[in-house]
Structure 1
Amino acid sequence: MTNPRDVKYANESIARWQAALKERAMLETNNITFACLRGFLHELRARLDIESIARFGNHLPAVQRGVFYQDWVPGEPLATPDLAGFEAALAQRLLPHIHMPDGITRDVLWLIRSESEPFDAAELRKALPDVLAVVWDGV
């Protein structure tokens, strides 16, 4: 029996994402890199309605999708009035173990955009809050 493509390439995909983010953001370890990716995905998820969570999650690779949905408890989305507010919340999420690297929001959005197939990238973009969509468009 053959494995579905998502399963077959899951480890390769997350390893590629981590290597690319680690290099771009100049992070020291894979643990820091993974924590930043997970923190970003969870902070983003907290700001999306259920339809947008489903849209976004459906266009992530298998492991990244699992990370995105990890520990999710559905609720009302948090407001995202500006990038500074999003990044302050992300910094709090990463503490006390990791001090948020400068530009990590931009770096993670670059990662997701550059590592996704064009169709998936377009769908991912549609799910983003406006504040993050502006950053996405600039990376």
Structure 2
Amino acid sequence: MPIPMDLQHASEDFERFLADARDTAGLATRNQAFTMVEGVLRTFRRRLSLEDAIRFAGVLPPVVRAIFVSDWDPEEARRPFTDVATMTCEAQGLRRHHNFAPASAIRDVAASLRRHVDEAAFDRLLGALPEGAAGFWAV
């Protein structure tokens, strides 16, 4: 069986996603965009059970999926979905002195990610996740 296309082009697809996230958020560099994306993904992950997080990872592009699960402590206490401002502050807390994520970070990453996933599958999965999950990724 040949290598699936999403894996064959994972790096190029990730670079396009990162550029999209950078431009959507008005950031200057891909490094800034990477930290913003990672912070938003970790913030969302902290609100899911292990099973739900694995299901969510399955709808992500390969490199974004790897970032979503990297440095994960599955023993970490789950947090509740709260208001966007509070969750944005949490995302901005990742590498605080090198994090340039704007106040719109969650919405910016959501908008960018939606342009790089199967949006119908993404929305179906979000509908099966705990209350607050779909709102987190709303644009």
Q: Decide: shared fold, TM above 0.5.
A: yes
Letter in 1 for 2:98: H
Structure 2 counterpart of 1:113: 114
Structure 2 counterpart of 1:41: 41
Superposition pairs of residues 24-103 of structure 1, within 5 angstroms: 24-75=24-75, 76-103=77-104
CA distance in 2, matches of 1:42, 1:128: 16
Which structure features the higher share of helix residues?
Answer: 1
Give unmatched runs, 5+ long, in structure 1: none
TM-score norm. by structure 1 comes to 0.86
Letter in 2 for 1:20: D
Which range moved further: 80-89 or 39-48? 80-89
Q: Contact 1:53 / 1:127 at 8 angstroms: preserved in 2?
A: no
Other structure's SS at 2:115 match: helix
CA distance in 1, matches of 2:121, 2:133: 17
Other structure's SS at 1:93 match: coil
Q: CA RMSD in A?
A: 2.0
TM-score norm. by structure 2 comes to 0.86
Structure 1 counterpart of 2:15: 15
Give unmatched runs, 5+ long, in structure 2: none
CA distance in 2, matches of 1:130, 1:94: 28
Give the drift of 1:29: 0.3
